Chain A
């Protein structure tokens, strides 16, 4: 005699009916775990449960089979043949160009100068520098300030550079005066520029640590004088 309740179809129907009235379909749970299942990230018990579900659920079996197949096919899509002459097209577009240099100062300068707002920015900077030069109170350095040993070589170098700049400035001024002497207006302008230039260097001289080295002899004399002024302890 046929036993309908033992047939696989009947058992499946019964399971689905029970699940529908209790926890609902487990297919959503399988979908959540399908990728981890294929990547072998699940433990043995979960893997066994999924195998058990797949044995009885054709929809989930098809989904997992499609996942497996897509995993096989997708890596093969990495390269697509663009056509027989495509390499030549790329090479034509690139090789005949000069190789760009690593860093070109003149190119960088041109690029900077081609910026649309460079004139405005230069005007701002010039105005700011002028205002600072006119209104900024420059503190007069004290000659008694001791320059730290580490800074001394730097200070000496700065003085040397400043001295050199003064020489260059003088030479430049003389040359300019010789060449543009006939033009009175320009000469006046030069004198003004020279005045500003000298003022700048005078400010630079006062701002930098002193040109002369500290005079140890005078310092020593002062120290001696102070020591002399100290009151002597009274003898008992």
Chain B
């Protein structure tokens, strides 16, 4: 089914269409929230809030080209709010970041799947060591695949700034990975 038809059905209140919509976007939204918060349970709560917010504002959901950036923007705002709240009122004890061993993998071979999982975990850890700004640029550009203009609109900075910061962020990440022996 084409996206505009799916969206029309969702807006009309079709529960099956809404379920399909949720299943289509949930891993993506959860992935973004997880990379922002590094806590799986927090990411689940944020993802749920994001979908509730989308459901309550179905009339505002843009059509196909703008839908994903719109959802990413909502998720990012929710993550930033969450991180601000957490910073203002930190938990009594800080649990170590969850290790998502079930990062989605398309590899069928168990050995390859394991290697892939290790590589993803290493990149994920290296991402957490980046500065907030660099991590955000990597999340939006390299992971979510947004264009420079879309990122510039979300972050409210010029396109040239996004481009230069993106190069700096990629380089910083590569240096972290190189330091732990990845890519050698």
Contact = CB atoms under 8 A, between A and B. Distances in A.
Interface string B158-184: 000000001100110111011000111
A31 B178 CA distance: 13
Given A80-B104, A86-B44, A99-B13, A71 B142 contact: yes
Interface stretch (A60-68, A129-137, A205-213): A60-68
Contacts of B182: 66, 69
A35 B172 CA distance: 11
> B interface, by DSSP: helix, strand, loop or mixed?
helix
Interface stretch (B30-38, B80-88, B149-157): B30-38
B183 A76 contact: no
A86 B51 CA distance: 12
A182 interface: no
Interface string A71-107: 1011111111111001101110111010110100000
Given A35-B167, A91-B18, A94-B18, A70 B103 contact: no
Interface residues of B, number: 53
A78 B143 contact: yes
Contact of B184 (A62, A77, A95, A99): A62
B100 A69 contact: no
B58 A78 contact: no
Interface residues on A, range: 35 or more
A34 interface: yes
Nearest to A35: B167
B48 interface: yes
B89 interface: no
Interface of B: 13, 15, 18-19, 22-23, 26-28, 30-31, 34-35, 40, 43-44, 47-48, 51-52, 55-59, 100, 102-105, 116, 119-120, 123-124, 126, 138, 142-145, 166-167, 170-171, 173-175, 177-178, 182-184
12 contacts: A35-B170, A62-B183, A66-B184, A70-B173, A73-B123, A74-B123, A76-B104, A76-B120, A79-B30, A82-B44, A94-B18, A99-B58
Given A75-B143, A90-B26, 10 more contacts: A63-B174, A64-B174, A66-B175, A70-B173, A70-B174, A76-B120, A77-B120, A80-B102, A81-B30, A82-B30
